[in-house]
A and B are shown apart, each in its own frame.
Chain A
């Protein structure tokens, strides 16, 4: 069967904000005329929460999946049962983007334990003999810009053997002095994380310096809450024994979909942190952690 169904949104980047209209067309292509039992289009926004096996145990994780939170749900019938002529047919549609009840439309976020996703789904029902056609299309919601101004506050840091916690043998550590700063820890999500790091001195050659972006997801439920930190991405900013005394730029773009403005609700939280990881040539791993606050302006 050569009939195909597709949803095309007007905006190429598929990004919408609350209050805007999600507009597009349903594209039907078929060589012969197409008999059908009705076409429907639905829009849905869901927050999926999942408990990690680590925090609550394997079985609870399996059984106690938290019920998804519905943020938006609309249904329209695009066409009644009938026949669509052969060739390409485009049916335009529009949905106003308004939250259900007093809910807030959170920003699209793809995480491990928390997923916020908005989809359009188009179904074309057909007689028993032919399979129904269906098409999903995700669109992206950005939350409203934050009202208050973000004032960047630089954060300086110095890493030496003495500043480290969680070391077993402080005396065995080679000597090093690494200084640097982050231009801000309250970051605008559409702008990169920037800063500088300088290896002032190190006895052991440096193998690598990395920026690790970490998501911290907290899911609350009746039994308590689970908080998990997982890596989103790891960006190497220095490789090999870098020149001492030369400032190395810290620069990381926040990946789309995998990050969102820091989110705190009654049921779940999504926060972000960045680790500056220095790997020495003898495989010593030095990590400096900075909590971030992401926002959208």
Chain B
């Protein structure tokens, strides 16, 4: 190996080379050419691609337009939404029966004919009720399994057969100790107990203890007659009816499977399909239930298995529903009765949705018993439980809402009108009115909004809380628009009442709803008034502290309708409103939501001082919330939001203003690095924009400005912590400075980058994982080298000052053990040096004199370059030698040798014998151990042969002769 080989760069004529590399212009009609269009005919000829002097390959393909795979996918139903729809109905079907497959689907479809997806299902209400009706009082469960067994299940027990008797005794044993009263349960305990019962019901059923299962259900439904701790009653109803639903499903499924012995029962089965055994079992259930002593369990359990009537006779359900409806009249407590009706309606809607009569009957009966609310029993109960009338009345809402929702579902307008008239006639009708507004179609309510307001006004002050009434009305008006002419009156009337609500909590609950109505139909003036009113109500005693969710919702609604931020921020009370969010987490949350809307809806760049001020304030709030405990993700998302804002700011031609904005922003957002990075980019962009405006030649003023920009970047970059960000920003800013003819600034940037290199750590964390930084560093250095070509040497420093500096740094950097990185840098520095020695550089910066002009091909300069090359090659060869010593590193040696060979081939002047000898040696070295890729070798050879055909490249053909391909062994 000749270590003293001299690197002689080969002279390049970049223009000519480029010409040669260009493919022949293909005939493409740009009129209808689009890269994404299906390719019709393409005909490309390239000289480069031709191999072994063969005729230029031409590929032509003409094909009929193939169907776009994307659009063909979307042709039918979108598979995703299909799944979604299926899973949505799946849950529905699950709750009804465990039947699978086609049958289940058909059943669903059939039911949906009557009850569509627009019917809000009970499951949607459950959670809401559970969350709303809570209590802190202690609850009790009184379960006395089997205490009235004799009466309920085996009348005349003395006469039962031996078998039955022993069975019953067994059951008694089984449940010994289950006769107990659980006292002092918290609400959560209570719910858990009920869930346990639900589980034991399923277990009992699974282990074939049907009697025990029935007992559990009876005991549970008995709990519904207990109205102590009345505030909890609606939730209790929800919990217990879950058990009943489970039971109903179990019974139905069991009988269903009894009939599907040879083949599954079709969905639309008739009585003839049901075998005697199943009928008998079903009948047995009904007889058993009919003999339950107490009214409430008998009612609930029969309602739960209502669907089973299908197995017995055609008209069973239609006959049973009115009977059960009438049976509810026997329930003395109006609240218990109302919920029983709700349950019946719920089951009725599920089993026989077309059978509306019993729904109406239920409602009329409910109206009939309405006078009980003022009755003595209720009053006494309220006194004992210390519950106020308005609160008591709200307990009815879920039940009545549900009943009315069932009735109003796809009901004719006339029916709704009739219902409304009936409500009007009744005294103490606020409760009903509320439910009417909640349950009836919003369009219906909206059309009569003025009437409703009138009725609400007439309501008794002591009864149902008015703010709830207005809340319900508001909810309807948000969904449907009232007649245009009435809108203002409605708002005025409503707000007149709302503003008088004393309790801040009630007030804000109601106001929150009406804000949306205001935003929807009115201008910022009205919204501003509303906000003013809210501030006035919520400020005393720091009432806002308890109402953050509602206040947030107010903001959300305002943002939903007011997208014009100049209008939004010009509302006087908007920012004061924001000031009410004093809890940090909430305030940041709010700011964040504002920012999200801003980024989504602010389309135009802005320099509106109102917006800027307000947004800066908001962003500052977000920024200030960052502390050392803030999560990385949180910081990132906040940064993104702030960056989104910064990108929307533009002062147009007023570049100085823009720069000073960036200065201000830097001061404000100093803790969020991504924002700083963005600011640097913005400023760099600003400099380039200035250059564009000046068409490349700066005046004295703009030159000063771009220097200021450079200074900004130069000051800002060191405050960043990520070293690679810093490096790339130095490089970028250096390039920008260079482009703007700020030579000393560019020099400073690049120098800073070079001096930063030693600090680069060996490993950095990428997406939470530690990675070796080597590849990143190599990338950066290569990039940096490419820039160095155009950087003119500093007059006060020596020749190739920066290149030497870089290479010195590379030399001194403590690379990882066993790494070729350093040598790789050397290898990639060679092309730079080769490029520098050309008479004309491959690229240059307009209006900046590179070294080509400075030195003008001065032999001294060239020899300097050559010396450098020699040193590098010597280093590389040394390294290759070291690698050769070790068996394990010969592969690396081969690869490195080959890459050096590539560089020599491309950039070296191979007419020089020594150099070409070196190249041949390198080739042989790389092939010595057989690790190189034969395909690459073959292609390289082909390429050399191809090159050799060029004029003045005859020396290459000599060389080719000496390059032997590795023979496979």
Contact = CB atoms under 8 A, between A and B. Distances in A.
Q: Are A and B a genuine interacting pair, yes or no?
A: yes
Contacts of B637: none
Interface stretch (B292-300, B468-476, B591-599, B673-681): B292-300
Interface string B53-77: 0000000000000000000000000
Given A111-B156, A241-B375, A233 B369 contact: no
Interface in B280-297: 280, 283, 286-287, 290-291, 293-296
A256 B293 CA distance: 16
B333 interface: yes
Nearest to A194: B323
A190 B368 CA distance: 33
Interface stretch (B135-143, B190-198, B324-332, B521-529): B324-332
Interface string A229-248: 01111111111111100111
A274 interface: no
A110 B296 CA distance: 28
Contacts of B294: 236, 239
B293 A243 contact: no
B158 A233 contact: no
A238 B331 contact: yes
B332 A241 contact: yes
B291 A246 contact: no
A80 to B, nearest CB: 30
A112 B158 contact: yes
Task: Kindly name the residue among B158, B329, B371 whose own CB sees the greatest number of chain A CB atoms within 10 A.
Answer: B329
Contacts of A256: 287
Interface in A171-211: 205-206, 209
Contacts of B225: 239-240
A239 B323 contact: no
B279 A12 contact: yes
Contact of A255 (B275, B287, B368): B287
A246 B615 CA distance: 66
Contact of A251 (B159, B160, B293, B323): B323
B277 interface: yes
A206 B333 CA distance: 11
B377 interface: yes
A138 interface: yes
A253 B161 CA distance: 22
B159 A111 contact: yes
B499 interface: no
Contacts of B279: 12-13
A249 interface: yes
B324 to A, nearest CB: 10
B210 to A, nearest CB: 17
Contact of B332 (A13, A240, A247): A240
A258 interface: yes
Contacts of A246: 329, 365, 368-369
Contacts of A242: 329-332
B316 interface: no
Nearest to B292: A235
Interface in B324-350: 326-327, 329-334, 336
Given A249-B329, A253-B287, A233 B155 contact: yes
Contact of A248 (B275, B283, B330, B377): B330
A22 to B, nearest CB: 15
B218 to A, nearest CB: 13
A12 B280 contact: yes
Task: Kindly name the residue among B276, B287, B330, B336 whose own CB sees the greatest number of chain A CB atoms within 10 A.
Answer: B330
Contacts of A206: 332
Interface string A68-101: 0000000000000000000000000000000000
Nearest to B330: A238
B368 A243 contact: yes
A251 B299 CA distance: 12
B602 interface: no
B155 A232 contact: yes
A111 B155 CA distance: 9
Contact of A249 (B155, B159, B326): B326
B48 interface: no
A31 interface: no
A11 interface: yes
Given A12-B277, A236-B295, A258-B156, A243 B327 contact: no
Nearest to B158: A112
Nearest to B290: A253
Contacts of B276: 11-13
Interface residues of B, number: 41
A115 interface: yes
B293 A205 contact: no
A11 B225 CA distance: 41
Given A233-B151, A236-B294, A237-B330, A243 B159 contact: no
Contacts of B336: 240
A239 B276 CA distance: 37
Nearest to A256: B287
Contacts of B290: 252-253, 255
Interface in A101-119: 110-112, 115
A231 B294 CA distance: 16
B368 A110 contact: no
Task: Kindly name the residue among B158, B159, B326 whose own CB sees the greatest number of chain A CB atoms within 10 A.
Answer: B159
Contacts of A138: 161
Given A238-B330, A240-B377, A255 B280 contact: no
B376 interface: yes
A78 to B, nearest CB: 22
Contacts of A240: 225, 331-333, 336, 377
A239 B159 contact: no
Interface in A122-137: none
Given A13-B276, A205-B377, A239 B331 contact: yes
Interface in B373-407: 375-377
A241 B365 CA distance: 16
B834 to A, nearest CB: 96
Nearest to B288: A255
A249 B330 contact: yes
A278 to B, nearest CB: 12
A106 B521 CA distance: 81
A189 B783 CA distance: 101
A235 B293 contact: yes
Contacts of B277: 12
B814 to A, nearest CB: 84
A110 B331 contact: no
Interface in A240-280: 240-243, 246-249, 251-253, 255-256, 258
Nearest to B152: A233
A127 B368 CA distance: 75
Contacts of B296: 239
A136 to B, nearest CB: 8
A231 to B, nearest CB: 8
B332 A238 contact: yes
A86 B277 CA distance: 28
Contact of A243 (B283, B291, B329): B329
A145 B225 CA distance: 42
A13 B280 contact: yes
A237 B329 CA distance: 9
Interface string B919-935: 00000000000000000
Given A12-B276, A205-B332, A258-B159, 7 more contacts: A110-B160, A215-B156, A236-B330, A238-B330, A241-B377, A251-B323, A256-B287
* A-B complex: 3 closest residue pairs judged by Cβ atoms: A240-B332, A238-B330, A12-B276
29 contacts: A12-B275, A12-B277, A12-B280, A13-B279, A110-B159, A205-B376, A205-B377, A209-B330, A215-B156, A231-B155, A233-B151, A235-B291, A236-B294, A236-B295, A236-B298, A238-B329, A238-B332, A239-B296, A239-B331, A240-B331, A243-B332, A243-B372, A246-B329, A247-B329, A249-B323, A249-B327, A251-B323, A253-B287, A253-B291
Interface of B: 151, 155-156, 158-161, 225, 275-277, 279-280, 283, 286-287, 290-291, 293-296, 298, 323, 326-327, 329-334, 336, 365, 368-369, 371-372, 375-377
